[in-house]
Structure 1
Amino acid sequence: MTDIQALSRSLGLAEAEIHRWVALRWLRPEGTPGGWVFQEVDVARIRLIVELRALDLDEEAMPVVLSLLDQLHATRRQPRLLRQAVEETAPDAVRDRLRALLATEG
């Protein structure tokens, strides 16, 4: 976790730029203005935004690209969560059957 001042210094970005990205909802730190806390995922997202801007991605396209990437990450996370739920709650026979089915799909 880090605050905006430390984040700005470590990434070489103006605090005003980070504020702007929060206002545009490209970033969603915890807390309130003046007390925002940025997690590692926020730092990774900032680095992604910087890279996309370096590729000349314009501001109108940025929310679309970020939304698509968020959807992709959510889609990739779903099977992992499902697998965890099955491992924690399903009877042994159900887990064994699911493992067998997944093994044939691979």
Structure 2
Amino acid sequence: MTIISPTPPRLVVRSEAELREYVRARWNPKPPAPAPLRIIRTTADLEVGDSLRRPGGQTDVLITRLNPETREETLVEGRREVWSLGSCWVLEAAELVQAYARDDAAVTHG
């Protein structure tokens, strides 16, 4: 039986300060910065993946597509198609909505 081992990694010589910094950076890395809070007030603020609460006591719907896609285009056009799977609602760009951001930070206005 023949055992083939990979070549050993290249030996790196470090000073004690470099070694301490290397270990510190990998042993206790900084946690990622929290995502900035996104406030959803109007239809123009919606993004794909957000949950939209429909008026009249209907359940929340997951937004799967937006037309126009960007906030700026929506403001120029004045309206936006909000799609959830096969359903579509046409809303005014400045219409107040109740929605939850996709990062599960519940933000409600309106």
TM-score strictly above 0.5:
no
Tell me: higher relative CO, structure 1 or 2? Use CA pairs within 8 A at least 6 residues apart: 2
User: Structure 1 length as normaliser, TM-score?
Assistant: 0.21
Q: Is the helix fraction higher in 1 or 2?
A: 1
Q: Is the strand fraction higher in 1 or 2?
A: 2
User: Structure 2 length as normaliser, TM-score?
Assistant: 0.20
